[in-house]
Amino acid sequence: MDSAVKVSDAAKLVNKDRKTIYNGYLKTGKLPHHINSLGIKMIYLYDLERVFGHLSFPVDDKPVYVDDKTDYENEKLKIKIEVLESMLLDALKGV
């Protein structure tokens, strides 16, 4: 299953207002979405990245609603890896 997030969480990931996502991207068709089994509008992460470029995942433990818990855990691990890689590169530059 591909990772998908709620519109409000998508807005956080791209540093945009939720209304901007709805009016400027969903209604105009610039950003595809689907309705999950609970009736919630969801946006695939790969579509967000395609439209907006790099996503800024929150590093804190505030929950981001993702369709699949495993996908959410994977995204958290990816963030931690990126942070650790950055820290390692910074440490190596200082040597």
Question: 55-74, pLDDT tens digit by residue?
Answer: 776 655 555 555 565 676 77
Q: Which of 36, 28, 33 lies closest to 7, judged by CA?
A: 33
Indicate the pLDDT class of residue 1, thresholds 50, 70 and 90.
Answer: very low
The model's pTM: 0.59
Dig out the tokens for 2 from the structure.
């591909």
Q: Measured in Å, how far apart are the chain's first and last C-alpha atoms?
A: 42
Mean of the pLDDT values across residues 68-85?
74
If phi > 0 it is left, if psi is from -120 to 50 it is alpha, else beta; for residue 12 that is alpha
Q: pLDDT at position 2, please?
A: 65
Angle (nearest 5°) at CA 23 between 12 and 4: 45
Containing structural domain, residue 24: 4-93
Q: How many domains does the chain have?
A: 1
| Per-residue model confidence as pLDDT tens digits over 15-40 | 899 999 999 999 999 999 999 888 88
